[in-house]
Amino acid sequence: MIRPIVVYPDKRLKQQSKPVTEFDETLHTLLDDMNETMLASNGIGLAAIQVGEPLRVLIINLPDEEGNQHPENLIEVINPVILEKRGSTTYTEGCLSVPDYYDDVERADWIRVEFYDRYGNRQEIETDGLLAIAFQHEMDHLEGHLFIEKLSFLKRKKFEKEWKKKQKELKEKKKK
Ligand code: Y12
Ligand code: CO
């Protein structure tokens, strides 16, 4: 089932997500719904809080060179912890909870992460490039942080101004 995506500035996005304790059917349904929701919105990553569930759950599915996403590339990540990180890289990020806004964000270039799969099995991954960026972006959601918080003061001010203008325009359009 596709679930509605929580959009900025909804307060729920500031919530700290809680660890998963039960690797049961409810969790599996959440993961399946998140995947359906992410694919329907052309996303490559999604955290549970973005569908209103304050749990430490996220999914990532990076597209191939042709831009296609494959089910076998889906990574389901539960209770992740970054064990090690190195270097720095900058990438123009976007977020389904901040639609139609993209900006450069600096993050670690390489990370080692521990997490659990949907059955409660411990996993470890060492990764760099886009996958490392996606992990860090989605893990920020678990702490109640969005990529726009990493913008410079001036860029953030410009974003807020543009965002308010867009919301106003959308409101006016709905009235008609
Ligand atoms: C690198 C950078 C950021 C991430 C986090 C995951 N981000 C996304 O999945 C963003 C998806 C997104 C999709 C949009 O929709 C379309 O392109 C049709 C979009 O545009 C609108 O909503 C209008 C914005 C963001 C992982 C790796
Ligand atoms: Co996001």
Rg value, the chain, Cα: 16
- For the chain, which domains are there? 11-151 (3.90.45.10)
Question: Which pLDDT value is given to residue 172?
Answer: 92
Q: 53, 76, 93, 138: which one is catalytic?
A: 138
Ligand 1 centroid distance, CA of 38 (Å): 9
Residue range 97-103: mean pLDDT, rounded: 96
Question: Which pLDDT value is given to residue 22?
Answer: 98
Pocket test for ligand 1, best of 34, 37, 39, 42 (most atoms within 8 A of CB): 42
Question: Which pLDDT value is given to residue 34?
Answer: 99
Side-chain-side CA neighbours of 128 within 13 Å: the count stands at: 6
Q: What is the strand order of the sheet 75-86 is part of?
A: 45-47, 57-60, 75-86, 110-116, 122-128
Helices (H), the chain: 25-40, 129-142, 153-175
User: Any idea which ligand is nearest the CA of 93?
Assistant: 1
Find the helix or strand (DSSP H, E) in which 57 lies: strand 57-60
Write out pLDDT tens, residues 12-58: 999 999 999 999 999 999 999 999 999 999 999 999 999 999 999 99
Residue closest by Cα to atom 6 of ligand 1: 45
Pocket test for ligand 1, best of 62, 93, 96 (most atoms within 8 A of CB): 96
Ligand 2 centroid distance, CA of 176 (Å): 31
Three-state SS string over 72-111 comes to HHCEEEEEEEEEEEECCEEEEECCCCCCCCCEEEEECCEE
Write out pLDDT tens, residues 112-167: 999 999 999 999 999 999 999 999 999 999 999 999 999 999 999 999 999 999 99
Q: Is the CB of 63 under 6 A from ligand 1?
A: no
Q: Is the CB of 5 under 6 A from ligand 1?
A: no
Question: Which pLDDT value is given to residue 174?
Answer: 85
Contact 72, 49 (CB under 8 A): no
pTM, 2 dp:
0.97
User: Burial code of 107-127, b = ≥16 C-beta within 10 A, e = fewer?
Assistant: bbeebebebbebeeeeeeeee
Residues 17, 87: Cα–Cα separation, whole Å:
27
To the query of whether residue 138 is one of the catalytic residues in this protein, the response is yes
Question: Which pLDDT value is given to residue 175?
Answer: 84
